[in-house]
Amino acid sequence: MRILMDAPQNTENTVLQPPMEAAAQPPLQPLLHDETVVLRAPTQAWSAADGSIGGQPIHGIYFSDVRILSAQAILVAGAPLEHLASVSRGADSSAFVSLARQLDDTTADPGVRAEHVRTATTTGIEERLEITSRLDHELVTEVRVDFVADATGMDFIKSGAGQSTAPPVSIGGGTSHTALWNGEDVSVQLEARGASITADSVSWIVTVPARGSASVSWSYNATDQLAVVNGALGPVPWVVPELHADDDRLSRWVARALSDLDALRLSATANPDQQFLAAGAPWFFTLFGRDSIWAARFMLPLGTRIAADTLRVLASLQGTAPVADTAEEPGKIMHELRRVSLEMPAEGLHLPPLYYGTVDSTALWVCLLHDAWKWGMPVDEVRALLPHLERALEWMRDFGDSDGDGLLEYADKSGRGLSNQGWKDSGDSVQWRDGTLATGPIALVEVQAYAYEAAMHGADLLDAFGADGSPWRGWASRLRTAFHDKFWIHDATGAHLAIALDAAKNPVDTVTSNIGHVLGTGILDEHQAALVAARLVAPTLSSGYGLRTMSTDSAGYWPLSYHGGSVWTHDTAIAIAGLAREGFRSEADELTRGLLAAASGFDYRMPELHSGDPATEFARPVPYAAACRPQAWSAAAAVSVLSSVLGLVPDAPAGTLGIAPTGVVGGVTMNGLVFDGVSGGVATNGAGEVTAGNLPFVVG
């Protein structure tokens, strides 16, 4: 028997409209925490859990920082499907399983189901809908996809302004199964073979055989005339390890993180063979100096290529002249690269497409080069970057220290850039314990430690390659003296490091997570490091789900403040690594347990940040609703934590790899640890001992 399932007669009202803004409500940044994303940089698609697009302000398909589609709904026989489950197939693909009871019989058992698969590629989104029937008769029905074309810039969406004017859609474009539109210099082609296409819908007449299935597919592909980044093709530039830990939360976190990092890979259009990691989805889908450096640094135990490529891409953009509007200076490493200027009028922000407004990326670039050398980056590749190393060191001396006091400080000279230029770059991130904002120029505590480490390790590199590093050791020594003269202060608990010095060189007294970045850089002595370690694990900073950005005893503390009480995964991972390097293993283990608990609560996709609410009061970490997810340094932090758990200390020039495991996750077996270009394996037991290994290198 052949049954025709007719669509309802008045279906024109089901055509999607752009999401409506609440009346008289001021613009609000879209929330992300409950939404579903698939991505393959520079493409991302945000939807509801059932795959539908258009119900929330963030929803849409995006390409190269432009939303190319703001709404999409699937109708079968004129009615929506009923969602059962969503199944991730990796960062770039999800399956949405539904019932199609409008096609079914009247029994309780579902007899017709649908599976909608969405896959992100480097050029767009591919969609497929398969309808499967167990019924003993053939079904003939209509499948219709309603859509709303778009061409809205990401900064417009982030501001909460909604959707700009939808672009006109042309049908055909040389074939009978395509629709075309363009805007913001991005061109889009919707292709749906065998379909009837209008300016807002695609439809097919589908025959589902008895006890069989039928499918339709469609895709959105885009090109960007202003692209400065492209999706990276080919295999990932790191080894994907085989990892087992007795506490499987670590293994699961690493696996999910590496899938996300794969999907975040990009290359610059000027250097298509060199890969780096996009900072995060949806807002920061491009090259960020600081973020890409930290992510690459975390990934070093899996190989040096992503670090080497990141170093080269950033070196190619290294500053050459003083330019106030872009914050460029000779030797400086850039902050961010975008296709067009970033405009956020409500925040008084105008950032040019290539912006250098960061105080820490330059020192961190030097630290990454040194660490990559220690892990075994090829000597010729290191040597080729030494001129950039010297210019970076000179920037710290000649421009980073703008007032000649031996410390690095920053100030926005353009009046339209970032007011704070460390990793905590929100406007209220540097404040006194009473909540008053500090005035700049600001000298951040962690930046001095980065600069000291960069100068000392830069000197080591220069010496190793036949130059004289001693002047930089002298410069570092003077910085260290100034640091200890200015940054140590006291409260009721004892001595601690200030977050920063303000314009008058007064130490800003807030206790913050910034102090965790100072550990392991060499700028502290043993007693000072112990003071920092004790502060980090105090309940005012350690939430049980990671390290709070600001202590709870500060007036400005708020668990959902972006930089004033929330928890950032990478921030905690940096503190864990520093604690481990300084020998404070129990403190490192405590923070590690907190991140593992958070990872489990977020299904192992760690967001950019989460709430600082205590684990003693909340059984799961509370989301920060606008956090990027996934984000490169939050994902790569999983590898950093693994490295800290194993106690890895590389020294490729000396031919040794130190391994001093902790028992915080029990035994660990890892194959795919890369040192000096060679991959090997190691096994440890719960007592923190190396029990086996097929390491083709010397364990120190």
DSSP states of 119-136 as a string?
A: EEETTEEEEEEEEEE-SS
Confidence of residue 349 (pLDDT cuts 50, 70, 90): confident
**pLDDT average, residue stretch 531-549:** 98
Q: Binning pLDDT at 50, 70 and 90, where does residue 4 land?
A: very low
User: Using CA atoms, how far apart are residues 89 and 511, in angstroms rounded to an integer?
Assistant: 42
User: Can you tell me the mean pLDDT for 50-63?
Assistant: 97
pLDDT at 174: 60
Q: How much is the pLDDT for 13?
A: 40
pLDDT, residue 24, reads 55
d(CA 625, CA 611): 9
3-state secondary structure 261-306: HHHCEEEECCEEEEEEECCECCCECCCEHHHHHHHHHHCHHHCCHH
The pLDDT of 509-527, averaged and rounded, is 98
Q: What is the mean pLDDT of the chain?
A: 94
Q: Which amino acid is at 491?
A: D
Dihedral angle over CA of 556, 562, 565, 567, nearest 10: -170
Please give the average per-residue pLDDT across 249-256, as a whole number.
98
- The token pair at 267 is 């290359």
| Lookup result for tokens 């450096």 | 293
User: 461 in the Ramachandran plot: left (φ > 0), alpha (ψ -120 to 50) or beta?
Assistant: alpha
Q: What's residue 163's pLDDT?
A: 75
Task: Identify the pLDDT of residue 350.
Answer: 85
Task: Tell me the torsion sign for CA atoms 391, 396, 398, 402.
Answer: positive
Residue 377 reports pLDDT greater than 90: yes
Report CA dihedral (345, 347, 349, 353) to the nearest 10 degrees.
-80
Lowest mean pLDDT among 209-213, 307-311, 350-354, 542-546: 350-354
The DSSP secondary-structure symbol of 335 reads S
Q: Please give the structure tokens belonging to residue 173.
A: 């474009």
Mean pLDDT of 355-366: 97
The tens digit of pLDDT for each residue in 604-638 reads 999 999 999 999 999 999 999 999 999 999 999 99
pLDDT band for 173, please (50, 70, 90 cuts).
Answer: low
CB atoms within 10 A of CB 23: 5
Exposed/middle/buried for 64, CB within 10 Å: 0-12, 13-18, 19+? buried
Q: Can you tell me whether residue 397 is helix, strand or coil? A: helix
Give the residue-averaged pLDDT of 100-105: 95
What pTM did the predictor assign?
A: 0.95
pLDDT given at position 164: 77
Reported confidence tier of residue 1, pLDDT bands at 50, 70, 90: very low
CA–CA dist 617, 342 (Å, integer): 39
Residue 108 burial by Cβ neighbours in a 10 Å radius (0-12, 13-18, 19+): exposed
Give the pLDDT confidence of 423-481 residue by residue, as tens digits: 999 999 999 999 999 999 999 999 999 999 999 999 999 999 999 999 999 999 999 99
As a whole-number percent, the residues of the chain with pLDDT over 90 amount to: 88
> Residue 22 has what pLDDT?
45
342's CB contacts (< 8 A; 6+ apart) are: 155, 336, 349, 350, 351, 355
How many Cα neighbours within 13 Å face the side chain of 339? 23
pLDDT in tens, 650-684: 999 999 999 999 999 999 999 999 999 999 999 99
Cα 638 to Cα 73, 482, 627: the distances in Å are 36, 35, 18
pLDDT of res. 344: 73
Average pLDDT, stretch 189-206?
96
Task: Give the model's pLDDT for residue 697.
Answer: 57
Peptide bond into 167 cis (omega under 30): no
Least confident of 85-94, 368-377, 534-543, 690-699: 690-699
Of the pLDDT bands very low, low, confident and very high (cuts 50, 70, 90), residue 5 is very low
